[in-house]
Structure 1
Amino acid sequence: MAELRVFKTDEELQVMRYASLIASEAHKAAMKHIKPDLYEYQLESIFRHTSYYTGGCRHLAYTCIAASGCNSSILHYGHANAPNDRQVKDGDMCLFDMGPEYCCYASDVTTSFPANGKFTDKQKIIYNAVLKANREVLKQAKPGVRWTDMHILSERVILEDLKAAGLVQGDVNEMVKNRIGAVFMPHGLGHFLGLDTHDVGGYLGDATPRASEPGLKSLRTTRTLQERMVITIEPGCYFVDTLLDAAFADPVKSKFLVKEKIDQFRGSGGVRIEDDVIIWAGENENMSRVPRTVDEIEAFMAQK
């Protein structure tokens, strides 16, 4: 039986570039429109309208996640039981994970930004840690590199920044070994993207068996990267009470956690930064086109 193809043709890549471009424009429209006291579904509506009216994308690739405040720590928020119906508050961190579909090909972009357009110092700590992980993986994810190693790299980068900010303590390598990264990022780093949002082929071919450890067991692929693979890079950092409480109750994990510092971030939700990326032997191609640094986001949102 022939192995399932996971790399994309030139024609497929062109369609996916367009879908990601429209996703980016729709995300920017939502960022421009947002203000405290709107409802999350109103921002979802702006995204849907822009995707169709501006880009001709009649369908979305998946159910929109338009999370604000504490909801931004709910990984798949926005479904029928949590329908993007919270009222956005001044000072909230927002996490919008939304992507249109074009000619049956999916996009999948996540933006995180403050509802009022200005990051607090605490929001900057978490946002910059996640952005640094995103950018480091974008640089290191090359043909011949196993995706599992990229997940561990993203955990290490985030933990180093959390340590510098005083939220965790001890040796970062020991933290990775004891799965402290999964306390803050319980999901996998990313997934194949194509005709489906979570595209097929993640555990075929040269994939290693699915792990059983927290975080690693959630990886949607363990394959070695090849040119023309399209994959999302989406590290995140969240403050989820159930995960934190379990870690504090664990005698091994708790020694790495600084409770009085972490408790200051409880209820703040989380940050995820997700880009749609084509793997190349040279510089990887990031198809997402949205403001990413703190300065870029604040300058963009100030143009309202």
Structure 2
Amino acid sequence: MSDPLAALQREHLQHLERYYAETLAALGYDGVLIYSGRPTLHFGDDQYASFCSYGHFQHWTGQSGLAHSWLLVQPGQPTRCFFHAPDDFWHLPPQLPDQAWTEHLEVAVVRDATPPRLGAGRFAVIGDVDRATAQALGVHAPGVECNPADLLAALDEGRLRKSAYEIACLNEANRMAMLGHRAAHEAFLAGGSELDIQLAYLQASRQRESELPYGNIVGIGPHAAVLHYQHYDSEPPRSRPSLLVDAGHRFRGYCADITRTWPGTDTDPLFADLIAGMHDIKQRLVAAVAPGIEFVALHERMHHLLGELLVASELVTGSAEMAVESGITRAFCPHGLGHLLGLQVHDVAGRQARDGTVLPPPAQYPALRLTRELETGMTVTIEPGLYVIPMLLEPLKASPVGREVNWTLVERLAPHGGIRSEDNVAVTSDSARNLTADFE
């Protein structure tokens, strides 16, 4: 075994065995069968959509692209993985990796996708299955329950606090992603198009597009104001005022999610100052991350800091408090401060309490994905933003409070699109560790 993370992964798996045993016992289950999932065909086509394995399957194996496989977890018995590797000459079958989980779990390499037989007792099957699908796949145990809500909530809660192994994986994902961000910036400075920048990112971060944890956002100029901009212009633009890159990496299933904004050759000095100001806001918010901090309160602090920046830059007259209370800051930044990060980019359990009850976001901040108190072991993104989005600013301009905005300066900034600065932060026992800053 040459796995450098072997010891940490064994500890992680031992923790999972204890947690599943306690959870299943508390809820009255004898075991749970976890389905990795299966790719789906595009309607009326013979091509499959992109695929990612179910998060709770990845929690044990780290295999993000393994389809038609199963995990059977029964307290008091070895956890069994049925690793689907069919005989196939059209495609290369998956291979078992040289990682500690393949020795710690009881692994059977199987040629077909039939699930293991379940014995007597109360079992749940979780994943991309309903009862009819489970039966079609071959799950025929009497009374088997598909995706029971109380069990899913408890297992989601179990992914909230990351083990030392998971932090190591997130750290490596950040390292590789930052290699990509540096290459993207260099490609932009060299005059590349959005497509050139995306290809430079992929090459430097050593991943193909289908392996990304999410579709990279690569926006030059006004495209940076589209929060989830999804295209890559293949021709370089005539004007290059700015570049925003929101791009990640996946390592053993764990995701990095990093954003950087850079000035270009045609940058207004005010925009360059705002980039520096937004970086400072991010640093102050990262420094405030600690156990016991309410994330909603941290999000509200972001808006107050953004209000101060808008006033200091003369984009807004009056006070920062007025800018927040009147909704001006929300028009300039409509998204949340951040979210949980792990096996999913927007990881599970961000809007639920420990007992599974829902914690909805405040009415004025509907996009906030994390509404609970920070705890040791959580990993979150911190990503304040400032954008010129006509769809949001035009109603503001037409309202009475619009007179508090310097629209001449807004028009100067419009060709730059917007700014987002995003790091990945692990909550430690007394403060936080910025995983992204390790590789800046």
Spell out, residue by residue over 1:26-55, the C-alpha distance to the aligned partner (whole angstroms, 9 max, x if none): 1112212323642101110111111117xx
Task: Provide the C-alpha distance between the structure 1 equivalents of 2:372 and 2:233, rounded to a whole number of angstroms.
Answer: 34
Task: Give me the TM-score of the superposition, normalised by structure 1.
Answer: 0.86
Q: Paired residue for 2:360, among 192, 195, 209?
A: 209
1:11 maps to what in 2? 165
Task: Provide the C-alpha distance between the structure 1 equivalents of 2:416 and 2:187, rounded to a whole number of angstroms.
Answer: 22
1:130 aligns with 2:284: no
Q: What amino acid does structure 1 have at the position aligned with 2:272? A: K
Task: Provide the C-alpha distance between the structure 1 equivalents of 2:175 and 2:210, rounded to a whole number of angstroms.
Answer: 15
Q: Is the 8 A contact 2:291 2:431 kept in 1?
A: no
Change in 2 beyond 3 A, CA 1:210/1:62: same
Task: Provide the C-alpha distance between the structure 1 equivalents of 2:338 and 2:418, rounded to a whole number of angstroms.
Answer: 17
Change in 2 beyond 3 A, CA 1:27/1:284: same
Spell out, residue by residue over 1:124-174, the C-alpha distance to the aligned partner (whole angstroms, 9 max, x if none): 232122112101110112111111111111111122121112110112122
Q: Is the 8 A contact 1:27 1:290 kept in 2?
A: no
Task: Provide the C-alpha distance between the structure 1 equivalents of 2:210 and 2:388, rounded to a whole number of angstroms.
Answer: 35
Q: Paired residue for 1:41, among 182, 195, 201?
A: 195
How far apart are 1:246 and its partner, in Å? 0.8
Change in 2 beyond 3 A, CA 1:191/1:86: farther
Larger Rg: 2
- Coordinate RMSD, CA, aligned: 2.3
Alignment of 1:101-112 (within 5 A): 101-112=250-261
Task: Provide the C-alpha distance between the structure 1 equivalents of 2:271 and 2:283, rounded to a whole number of angstroms.
Answer: 18
Alignment of 1:1-304 (within 5 A): 1=150, 2=154, 4-5=157-158, 6-35=160-189, 37-52=191-206, 59-78=211-230, 82-85=231-234, 87-116=236-265, 120-205=268-353, 208-213=359-364, 216-251=365-400, 253-289=401-437
Report which structure shows greater RCO (CA 8 Å, sep ≥6).
1
Spell out, residue by residue over 1:175-218, the C-alpha distance to the aligned partner (whole angstroms, 9 max, x if none): 212222111111111111101111111111166322222xx111
Task: Provide the C-alpha distance between the structure 1 equivalents of 2:406 and 2:184, rounded to a whole number of angstroms.
Answer: 36
Structure 1 residue matching 2:259: 3-state secondary structure: strand
Change in 2 beyond 3 A, CA 1:13/1:229: same
Task: Provide the C-alpha distance between the structure 2 equivalents of 1:86 and 1:224, rounded to a whole number of angstroms.
Answer: 45
Structure 1 residue matching 2:415: 3-state secondary structure: coil
Task: Give me the TM-score of the superposition, normalised by structure 2.
Answer: 0.60
Q: Is the 8 A contact 1:278 1:284 kept in 2?
A: yes
Task: Provide the C-alpha distance between the structure 1 equivalents of 2:414 and 2:267, rounded to a whole number of angstroms.
Answer: 17
Q: Is the 8 A contact 1:147 1:225 kept in 2?
A: yes
Structure 2 residue matching 1:106: 3-state secondary structure: strand
- Can you give the 5+ residue segments of structure 1 that lack an aligned partner in the other structure? 293-304
Task: Provide the C-alpha distance between the structure 2 equivalents of 1:150 and 1:132, rounded to a whole number of angstroms.
Answer: 15
Change in 2 beyond 3 A, CA 1:83/1:124: closer
Change in 2 beyond 3 A, CA 1:281/1:19: same
Q: What amino acid does structure 1 have at the position aligned with 2:227? A: L
Task: Provide the C-alpha distance between the structure 2 equivalents of 1:171 and 1:38, rounded to a whole number of angstroms.
Answer: 41
Change in 2 beyond 3 A, CA 1:286/1:174: same
May I ask how many residue pairs the two structures share in their alignment? 283
Spell out, residue by residue over 1:4-47, the C-alpha distance to the aligned partner (whole angstroms, 9 max, x if none): 12110001110110001110111112212323642101110111
Q: Is the 8 A contact 1:231 1:278 kept in 2?
A: yes
